[in-house]
Structure 1
Amino acid sequence: MKTKDITKLSGLSKDTIRFYEKLGLVKPNRESYSREYADDDLERIEQIKQLKGLDFTLSEIKLLVDIDEKYQSIDEIYSMTHDDYQEIIQLLDNKVNYLEEKSKMIEAGLARLKVMQEKIKSINNDR
Structure 2
Amino acid sequence: MATPNLHTISDLAREFDVTTRTIRFYEESGLLTPERDGQTRLYSDADRVKLKLILRGKRLGFSLSESRELIEMYDPDSDNRHQINALLGKIQKRREHLEAQLRDIQIMQDELDEAEAKCREALDECPD
What is the TM-score of this pair, normalised by structure 1? 0.59
Runs of 4+ in 1 over 6 A off after TM superposition: none
- Structure with more strand by fraction: 2
- Look up the SS of the partner of 1:37 in the other structure: strand
Question: After superposition, where does 1:86-105 map in structure 2 within 5 Å?
Answer: 89=86, 92-99=88-95, 102=98, 105=102
**Superposed CA offset, 1:41-99 (max 9, x none):** 2222121111111111001111111121xx33227x68x8xxxx8xx84x752431332
Q: Which has the larger radius of gyration?
A: 2
Could you say what the CA RMSD is over the residues aligned between the two structures, in angstroms? 3.1
- Corresponding residue pairs, total: 96
Residue segments in structure 1 that go unaligned for 5+ positions in a row: 110-127
Query: Which residue number corresponds to residue 77 of structure 2?
Result: 73
Query: Percent identical across equivalent pairs?
Result: 29
**Structure 1 residues 99 and 35: alpha-carbon distance in aligned structure 2, compared to 1, 3 A threshold:** same
CA contact (8 A) 1:26 1:41 kept: yes
Unpaired stretches in structure 2, ≥5 consecutive residues: 1-6, 107-128
**Secondary structure in 2 matching 1:74:** coil
Q: Is the 8 A contact 1:10 1:42 kept in 2?
A: no
Q: Aligned partners of 2:89, 2:8: CA distance in 1, in Å?
A: 37
TM-score when normalising by structure 2:
0.58
> 1:65 and 1:40 mapped to 2: Cα distance?
11
- 3-state SS, counterpart of residue 45 of structure 1: helix
Q: Which has the higher helix share?
A: 1
On the 8 A contact 2:53/2:67 being kept in 1, the answer is no
- Number of the residue aligned with 2:9: 3
Correspondences of 1:1-127 after superposition (within 5 Å): 1-30=7-36, 32-33=37-38, 34-68=40-74, 71-74=75-78, 89=86, 92-99=88-95, 102=98, 105=102
After superposition, the C-alpha distances for 1:8-48 in whole angstroms (9 at most, x for unaligned) are 11111111101101112122122x21111223322221211
